[in-house]
Chain A
Amino acid sequence: MPMTASGSAVQRHAHASGLHALSSALANLHRDALRASGDEEAQVRLSVVNIVAACNDATLATRAADTVVGIAARHPARALVIVGDPTAPLHIESDISLVETGVGRQYVELIRLEIGGEPAYHLSSIVMPLLIPDIPLHLWLVGAPPLTQAFRADAVAMCDRVILDTGAYDDAAETLQMIAREFDVHGASLSLNDIAWQRTRPWREAVAIAFDGPDVRPWLHRVVGVEIGRRMAARRMAGVTSDVARERRPGHRREQHPGRRRERR
């Protein structure tokens, strides 16, 4: 099995055709890593999450793979980065890498899968057998793929969290409305992270700090108007900030929305 070093991270790679070959290739990589370490007692894998990154093309897949490796020390994971193309000839090809996280001798297991033909419509039959048992599954919709498949009942039941970026869609407002409808359908079983919302974090912090001192806090409830720029991020932030401010106002009773409460912002 080839081994390379990317920056400080030691990587071991293998290629496999078909799902059965993939599982044995992954086991062989672990065995090779163990053999190289010369320490039989060290073979313990720590993992906290399965990440499935669904990508539309190879460029996005590369970006997703880099991100997964980048967060591996904090979120040790098995990551499946998938590019599915139902119009391509039938194939299931995978590149498997063990990349050292830099913490002890722990690895992130990165599996890049290319799926062509009809199986690309049935990704759960490919993904499910490859998950590490009993830890959460986070489905990351990389780029701006159509959301219909991600919000199918079986996909929602399978995933502990769906991660997407509403900022990547041409019509973010329409996307947000669609997501709101999905919350109505699935209720508490749908847990969602929006990267676009995370992107506003520095601004939210700045605004929060601006109203944090005892001298300025009373002004929070005396805001009578906000000028919002044309960018969607500004509108998103203004909307949610005013929602939070209204909710905290003394005497205010918020209209309950069971699904929306599950959104982790």
Chain B
Amino acid sequence: MTAAVELEPNPLFEGLRSARVPAPCCVVIFGASGDLTRRKLVPALYALAAEGTLPAGFTVIGAGRTHMSDEEFRNTMRNDVQRFGRLPVDDDIWSAFAQGLRYVTYDLDARDGLDPVRRALDEADRTRGTARNRVIYFSVPSTAVLLLAERLHAAGLHEDSRSSFCRVVIEKPFGRDLETARELNRSLHQFFREDQIYRIDHYLGKESVQNLLVFRFANGIFEPLWNRQYIDHVQITVAESMGIEARGAYYEQAGALRDIVQNHIMQLMAIVGMEPMPNFQAETVRDEKVKLLRAVRPIHPDDALSHTVRGQYAGGWVDGERVPGYREEKDVAPGSLRETYVAMKVDIDNWRWAGTPFYLRTGKRLVKRATEILIQFRRVPHSPFGGSIAMPMGGLPPDAIDPNLLVLRIQPEEGITLRFSAKVPGQAMRIRSVNMDFLYGSAFLKQSPEAYERLLLDCMLGDATLFAREDEVEEAWRLCTAILDGWRAHPPDQAHCPNYEAGTWGPPEADAFMARDGRTWHRP
């Protein structure tokens, strides 16, 4: 395999508003008839086309196991873009975009099963000028990833050169535990170099997550406060009001820890906690994230129960609708003990964070959909307003002053909130907390791009900053695998499972878990 060579920046783009247009290329989507392609990938590619960020001759080859003509594929995709896309379909733009849409069938069981894909790629190179530049998207079940990688390699579709690129995009799960993740990485490296592998975590493509990097490293006022001296603790919440939808079979194998904590939450924690990087190059950003993950204090399996809380939802009411319990969902065993909620405490053993814990939680069928990072600052050491009437939250003494909070909201209402104390207008000295919300979503009149738009474009451009590297994945698994081992040794008691009602903020044990440390969960 030849190492890819970075081309010099195209001088003709100098002074142009958007220099982020990739070289002519072809995106091959394996699993083109699946949900991800229909709901996310093709709508994202269309949005990029509509915004003028795709190169001339850009081509999409949908590869699936079901038979479909090019025309049928185009019609289906048009309907899906109309239904799921961020932008309405414009006839002229669609017409140009659809010229580059092809569909082929493939068969992984046959040694020559990728020949139709190779022929379609050759044709695109010849007729649309895609110059052997390829992004290959693995939208296939995790069980098929290695076989597909092997077949691509055998068919020579893994090759790049000094003047062309070949990158593969792989969706989570990246293994089921540390050992399988290492094995997956080892196996993938037989067929692709690490710099060709783009492990996608769509959370990292969200505007608000990128804004978090800007917030931390482009604002000098926060950095001096961003440490154990001023921050009491950090809470990261990924709450979902949805259940498991039609993913019962997957979820029975995965659970909340593997599905959300190992990837999305660990990535958010790394970004919040990492040291400032010298530049915004992919390797330097990822180096800093890995350093943070390595500083996480290991949890011994025997301590897993005291550092975590597991939960499973029963039926209840969410958004004014009655919803079933987890065990009543399709493809879920009636006596399943699989966790749909996790709360945990993470200690980070480094100079910046020692003694400032990170509390992480995620759950299905909670009160609302909300992802946020909450930074709780330490209280003022002494209140000079003793005897004044304050209005603290959370059952504090009436003259207590609420600590300052900084909340970075990822979804659904992207923004930043700063909570501070202020005097209530009037003669008396009354203090109350005021929330100052910066509504990121509505502050900029331009609509934010979808996460997949950003990530697909980055991949075409060869920018891996927002993709997970093999060592990031393995470090995240190191912590999660110890917890899984501990849980396996101590399965939940059937009598206490399920242990939270749908439409609540999780099991009461999670509140007790925080109360043990003299803290409370905040309400997202």
Contact = CB atoms under 8 A, between A and B. Distances in A.
A46 B391 contact: no
Interface in B470-524: 503-504, 522-524
Contact of B435 (A47, A126, A189): A47
Given A128-B367, A129-B367, A129-B368, A44 B436 contact: yes
B90 interface: no
B439 A45 contact: yes
B412 A135 contact: no
Interface string B312-324: 0000111111100
Given A27-B442, A34-B442, A74-B425, A126 B391 contact: no
Contacts of A136: 391, 393
B317 to A, nearest CB: 4
B320 A133 contact: no
Contacts of B425: 74
A44 B437 contact: yes
Nearest to B370: A133
A30 B442 CA distance: 7
Interface bin, chain A: 35 or more
Interface string B365-388: 001111010100000000000000
A40 B445 contact: yes
B419 A48 contact: no
Given A47-B437, A133-B372, A133-B522, A23 B412 contact: yes
Given A119-B321, A122-B317, A129-B368, A134 B435 contact: yes
A150 B391 CA distance: 21
Contact of B434 (A48, A74, A131): A48
A193 to B, nearest CB: 12
A115 B317 CA distance: 14
B216 to A, nearest CB: 20
Interface string B444-460: 11000000000000000
A19 B412 CA distance: 14
A265 interface: no
Contacts of B320: 19, 92, 115, 119, 122, 125-126
Given A27-B413, A188-B395, A125 B317 contact: yes
Contacts of B370: 133
Interface string B411-452: 011000101000011000000111111110111110000000
Contacts of A20: 319
Given A19-B320, A125-B319, A188-B395, A135 B435 contact: yes
Nearest to A122: B317
A134 B417 contact: yes
Contacts of B319: 19-20, 125-126, 129
Given A74-B425, A126-B319, A43 B367 contact: no
Contact of B445 (A34, A74, A92, A122): A34
B241 interface: yes
A134 B441 contact: no
A40 B443 contact: yes
A238 B237 CA distance: 50
A122 to B, nearest CB: 4
A220 interface: no
A30 B443 CA distance: 9
A160 interface: yes
A30 B504 CA distance: 28
B438 A44 contact: yes
Contacts of A46: 434-437
Contacts of B432: 48
B322 A27 contact: no
Interface in A124-169: 124-126, 128-129, 131-136, 154, 160
A198 to B, nearest CB: 15
A108 B236 CA distance: 29
A160 B393 contact: yes
B188 interface: no
B405 A134 contact: yes
B433 A48 contact: yes
B246 to A, nearest CB: 20
B407 interface: yes
Interface in A6-29: 19-20, 23, 27
Interface string A92-114: 10000000000000000000000
Contacts of A74: 424-425
| Interface-central residue, B419, B432, B437, B445, by most chain A CB under 10 Å | B437
A136 B402 CA distance: 12
Nearest to B447: A31
A194 interface: no
A77 to B, nearest CB: 11
A31 B407 CA distance: 21
A136 B391 CA distance: 9
Contacts of B439: 30, 43-45
Contacts of B241: 129
Given A128-B368, A188-B395, A27 B441 contact: yes
A91 B319 CA distance: 12
Contact of B317 (A40, A43, A119, A134): A119
A31 B440 CA distance: 11
A133 B445 contact: no
A43 B443 contact: yes
B407 A134 contact: yes
A34 B40 CA distance: 29
Interface in A157-194: 160, 188-189
A230 interface: no
A30 B435 CA distance: 17
A132 B435 contact: yes
A253 to B, nearest CB: 22
Nearest to B419: A134
A252 interface: no
A120 to B, nearest CB: 9
Most B CB contacts (10 A, CB to CB) among A31, A43, A124 go to A43
Contacts of B434: 46-48
Give the top 7 A-B pairs by smallest Cβ distance, nearest first.
A129-B368, A125-B317, A119-B320, A43-B443, A122-B317, A45-B437, A30-B442
15 contacts: A20-B319, A34-B443, A34-B445, A35-B445, A43-B439, A45-B435, A46-B435, A48-B434, A115-B320, A125-B319, A126-B319, A133-B409, A134-B405, A134-B435, A134-B523
Given A129-B369, A133-B522, 10 more contacts: A34-B442, A40-B443, A40-B444, A46-B436, A47-B435, A119-B321, A125-B503, A135-B393, A135-B435, A136-B393
